[in-house]
Chain A
Amino acid sequence: MLIVTAVLFSLAAGAWLGNQVLNRKPALDEISATVLDPPKAVSDFRLTNHRDEPFTLDSLKGKWSFLFFGYTHCPDICPTTLHTLAQMDRILAADPDAHANVQVVFVSIDPRRDTAQQLGKYVPYFNKAFIGVTGPEDEINRLTKQLGILHVRVEQNQGQDYLVDHSASVLLFSPQGALRALFGAPHAAQRLAADFKKIGQLE
């Protein structure tokens, strides 16, 4: 009788422990992104989206936001990353509730050439829901400096043209509008989606 009770108890305990393991939060080392704990608060900025509407810190609230910084005259890493983010978006769309809570934002670090109109032709090409953002150079800098995003203009062909060296990270903002995680390049859609789901479980 005692033995039966002990066996039943250990079975129940095993089941309970098993459940704890399944319900537990993911450990940070299971996530390849760098998770900021606590999230980093960001002060306000005044930018414009590709529909010529204001884009401020409030625009990052209420949804998870993926931000990538680049420019439309960048033929290699910028379209490559936007395609990867579009693939990630298709993976996330398998869960419509979670997907409705996500936005992808491309912030230009070349506002001289990237007008809202130019971004309107460029960004939705990769995904109709993606948002292009530009604005005055000092407002772009106000945002990038807080986030540690680098961008340096490099003259080409005797100054007739320029390229921009820039950070290749994808940044994830929480629905509170705080910086929650950094994904280092090169990016892969599966890894972005998997990390994002785990980061969501940390909340």
Chain B
Amino acid sequence: MMHKYCLLAIVWLVSATGAAQTQTSVLRVTDAWIRAAPPGVGVLAGYMTMENSGAVDVKVTAAESPQFGMIELHRTVIEDDVARMRKQAYFLVPAGGKLMLAPNDRHLMLMMPNVPLQHGDDVTVVLTLDNGASLEISAPLRLIR
């Protein structure tokens, strides 16, 4: 049972292709959280820091959660003071680098909650990586980071 403020991700080696491939999926997720919203709101945004300690770029190509019907990868861009939110095909975490999902920028867009969620609840998210591996993380619902 994870403590609700535990921020470290648990690596879930779903990859069936063996050790050689999982060696390259050295993705680590920290500071994951989901913006708590008023009751009845069906769309939430998730944020986190993704770090890639490997020598190969890693793309996050999809995300799913048992608590949500659908998750999309999104990015908000503010240009000429107009905020535009768009679906992204992937999030690229460069080799040896990191990628931040943050408010008013890249985020997971969590839609169609299966159960009512409130402040303090933990959400389980499984990230699909382009190297065939996946990563399970736990993100608490909070008002602010």
Contacts and interface: CB of A to CB of B under 8 A. Distances in A.
B40 A121 contact: yes
Interface residues on A, range: 20 to 34
B109 A166 contact: no
B40 A118 contact: yes
B103 A80 contact: yes
A77 B85 contact: yes
B37 A79 contact: yes
A119 to B, nearest CB: 10
A7 to B, nearest CB: 55
A94 B68 CA distance: 40
A185 interface: yes
A42 interface: no
B35 A79 contact: yes
Interface string A48-81: 0000000000000000000000001111110110
Given A83-B144, A165-B84, A185-B104, A77 B38 contact: no
A147 interface: no
Given A118-B40, A156-B87, A186-B104, A75 B35 contact: yes
Interface string A76-91: 1101100100000000
A165 B83 CA distance: 6
B41 A185 contact: no
A77 B143 CA distance: 13
B81 A169 contact: yes
Contacts of A83: 143-144
A13 interface: no
B37 A75 contact: yes
A75 B82 contact: no
B76 interface: yes
A175 B139 CA distance: 43
Contacts of B82: 150, 165-168
A72 to B, nearest CB: 6
Interface string B78-100: 10011111010000000000000
Given A80-B35, A121-B38, A168-B78, A73 B43 contact: yes
A154 B44 CA distance: 18
A76 B81 contact: no
A45 interface: no
Interface of B: 35, 37-45, 74, 76, 78, 81-85, 87, 103-104, 107, 109-110, 143-144
8 contacts: A73-B41, A74-B85, A76-B85, A121-B40, A125-B38, A168-B82, A185-B83, A185-B104
Interface of A: 72-77, 79-80, 83, 118, 121-122, 125, 150, 154, 156, 163, 165-169, 184-186
Given A76-B35, A80-B35, 19 more contacts: A74-B85, A75-B37, A75-B41, A75-B43, A75-B44, A76-B107, A79-B35, A79-B37, A80-B104, A121-B38, A125-B38, A150-B82, A154-B84, A156-B87, A165-B82, A166-B83, A167-B82, A169-B81, A185-B81
